[in-house]
Amino acid sequence: MLLYLHDIITGISDDDFIALQNDHPEEESGDTNLNTFLQLGDIIEYRDPSQKSLVKKGAIVSIGALSCSQNIIGLDNGDWLHKGVHQVRRISIKQLDHDGHVPNPYPVWKCLTKIIIFTYEDVSDGGEDDDTDEA
């Protein structure tokens, strides 16, 4: 099991941590994709790069307008995350088919500008049906 040296050793830069991760190809296979996406219900850790030692945790409860840079992600603790300001790492992934989370085996810090945010619309509530023509 991988020990997260970044969390244990103080003074290691993010670039050095990324270089350490690149030395472990078995960890890169598909798991980095888990760190590229966020969705409602995910549990994340977040920080301001100017205060890297101050890490907070929250669940995503709201997604704002993705076209602006302010108030992109709303968290259950009342905080809002902003593009270009916050870094995040996905700790647990919300399962869409039922309540519960799946742990992310290799959470990686990423700037919010490098994250793809999924938004889901409920299409099961009476949309148009092309198969029924009424005459």
Could you read off the pLDDT of 91-117 as tens digits, one per residue?
999 987 878 899 999 999 999 989 988
Residue 29, in any domain of the structure: no
Whether residue 65 is contained in a domain is answered as: yes
With respect to residue 48, please indicate whether it lies within any of the assigned structural domains.
yes
Say which residue, 46 or 14, is predicted with more confidence.
46
Q: Is residue 56 part of a domain?
A: yes
Domain hosting 78: range is: 41-120
110 beta partners: 88
Domains in the chain: how many in total?
A: 1
Supply the pLDDT for residue 120. Answer: 66
| pLDDT tens figures, 65-91 | 777 778 889 999 999 999 889 999 999
Average pLDDT score over the chain: 74
